[in-house]
Structure 1
Amino acid sequence: MANNILLPIAGRGQRFIEDGYETPKPLIETNGKYLIERSLESLDLTESNLIFVVRKEHIDSHGIDEILNLKYGDDIKIVTVDYVTEGTLCTCLLAEEYINNKDSLTIFTPDCYFEPKFYYPKETTSSGRFLWNRDKQAFDALVATFHSKAPAHSYVRLNTNNVVQEAREKEVISNHAIGGLYYFKSGFDFVSYAKVMIEKNIRVNNEFYIAPIFNLMISEQFKVTIDKNTRHDILGTPEDIERHEL
């Protein structure tokens, strides 16, 4: 079974625009590499299909599609959007034709670099759950986390077995901040619950975020775990990139 890696990089990058940048955020260089390239070093890309959602204006102005093809091959999928969506969740659903299937799905919002590298699970149980590489427990979904108390992040609350009990967007409910990576045993699960979120109009600050999807899944007995980052460098602002380059 293949693993699909979905990268929603269709944001405007407003903080960079305000700082005078004309280059699209994914193509800004850090340590001699594109930001998207540096971020993707956090993931094992073998045996995975890469799917990018990009802004049409970034294709027209900077040829981001050609750059991505050059870096990651002609087999990648590129979805274009020419408007601002109602949130990251909606941006991800633009790739529904490629992810609404039984293949596992990793969603990565690539404005960070983290360690250890994420290797998607390859073992499953007879019930269809995946065995997490770190402890061989069976789960349905996973989220990367790092230690923080900053209110700008999303958070999960855990039980003593590192099983997620609750997820909150932009609300500190623990010291386990979500690190931009979400893994689902199947893309079908993500698409199904994402559509439920939209039907129920579950928004935060008038946007559809990814983290609240776990609350819906948990309410229907899905088991969600975490992958703790020992290093997590945020690359969301010009100042973040400067710190990362030190």
Structure 2
Amino acid sequence: MNFVIPMAGRGQRFVDAGFKTPKMLIEAKGKSLLEWSIDSLPLELCTNLIFVLLKEHAENHKLDSFVTLKYKKYNPKFVYLDEVTRGQAETVLKAKHLLDMSVDLVIYNIDTAFNSVTLHNTLINNKKDGVIGAFVDLSDSSKYSYAKLDGESNVTEVVEKVKISDFALTGFYHFTNPEDFISLAEMNIQNNNTVKGEYYVAPIYNQLLEKGKNFVIDICQSIDVLGTPEELISFKNA
């Protein structure tokens, strides 16, 4: 499977909080946030590991060297960007030329750690047209993306920042056919079809659902969201 890791943001909330190190290299409990995130994945299924990063993070912080050191056995590839893109979907498209179109596509971020004992099996035996990582969120917050399911546990809708169910998304996005993602991501950019000015990955599932595609969720057993300084502090103190 292709595993694409978009990490070409500047982590502005961490910059504003006084952090000098790029977010993904910040350490917590003996590991960088990048490692906490990547080590959550079923890397044994990965045949093509790609990181998309800012050139400045490679030049000033040796981010690519760090990744190569930690994940050398997976022969990681890199795409270097001069500027921040207009969203995760656009960032992933920057790696299009490195994708193996004959195998699945996994997209994952660098600020969420989770544990799922079922994800490997779901990706092999029950993936349908794609698998979306999720966790049970019983809070009243609507700060995540959410998936709604039908009676047979098939995904019927995915929404950003609106709580349509208790199934919040981890940021793990899988497409059995990479072309499903690429064609719609490119079309959305061509048509300037954004959500609050950004090109997200999650809404693409809705477009594919309209085309008759079928998706399932994989529910993790634990999760640590590390996207803000406050969440990082909570994780360190847990």
By how many angstroms is 1:237 displaced? 1.2
Between structures 1 and 2, the one with greater helix share = 2
Q: For residues 83 and 105 of structure 1, do their structure 2 counterparts lie closer, same or farther at Cα, with a shift above 3 Å needed?
A: same
By how many angstroms is 1:147 displaced? 2.1
> After superposition, where does 1:1-150 map in structure 2 within 5 Å?
3-48=1-46, 49-73=48-72, 75-99=75-99, 101-117=101-117, 118-119=119-120, 123=124, 131-132=125-126, 139-148=128-137, 149-150=140-141
Q: For residues 186 and 57 of structure 1, do their structure 2 counterparts lie closer, same or farther at Cα, with a shift above 3 Å needed?
A: same
Q: Once superposed, what is the RMSD of the aligned Cα atoms?
A: 1.6
By how many angstroms is 1:102 displaced? 2.1
By how many angstroms is 1:67 displaced? 0.7
2:223 corresponds in structure 1 to 232
Q: What amino acid is aligned across from residue 140 of structure 1 in structure 2?
A: D
Q: Which runs of 4+ in 1 moved over 3 A?
A: 120-123
Q: Indicate the percent of aligned positions where both proteins have the same amino acid.
A: 37
Q: For residues 104 and 221 of structure 1, do their structure 2 counterparts lie closer, same or farther at Cα, with a shift above 3 Å needed?
A: same
Determine the C-alpha separation between the residues in 2 that align with 1:230 and 1:5.
Answer: 22
Contact conserved, 2:5 with 2:107, CA < 8 A, in 1?
yes
Q: Tell me, what secondary structure is at the counterpart of 2:44?
A: coil
1:221 corresponds in structure 2 to 212
Determine the C-alpha separation between the residues in 1 that align with 2:188 and 2:214.
Answer: 18
Contact conserved, 2:132 with 2:217, CA < 8 A, in 1?
yes
Q: What amino acid is aligned across from residue 110 of structure 2 in structure 1?
A: P
Q: Please give the TM-score of this superposition, normalised by the length of structure 1.
A: 0.89
Determine the C-alpha separation between the residues in 2 that align with 1:161 and 1:199.
Answer: 35
Kindly provide the CA deviation profile for residues 47-105 of structure 1, in whole angstroms up to 9, marking residues without a partner as x. Answer: 41211001111011110011111111172111111112111110010000122612111
Q: Please give the TM-score of this superposition, normalised by the length of structure 2.
A: 0.92
Determine the C-alpha separation between the residues in 2 that align with 1:122 and 1:237.
Answer: 29
Q: Tell me, what secondary structure is at the counterpart of 2:144?
A: coil
Q: Tell me, what secondary structure is at the counterpart of 2:188?
A: helix
Kindly provide the CA deviation profile for residues 100-159 of structure 1, in whole angstroms up to 9, marking residues without a partner as x. Answer: 612111100121111215327564xxxxxxx32xxxxx6101111112242221111110
1:126 corresponds in structure 2 to none
Aligned residue pair count: 232
| Counterpart check, 1:151 vs 2:142 | yes
Q: Tell me, what secondary structure is at the counterpart of 2:56?
A: helix
Determine the C-alpha separation between the residues in 1 that align with 2:196 and 2:216.
Answer: 26
Determine the C-alpha separation between the residues in 2 that align with 1:42 and 1:65.
Answer: 19
The unaligned stretches of length 5 or more in structure 1 are 124-130, 133-137
The unaligned stretches of length 5 or more in structure 2 are none
Determine the C-alpha separation between the residues in 1 that align with 2:23 and 2:156.
Answer: 34
Q: Tell me, what secondary structure is at the counterpart of 1:157?
A: strand
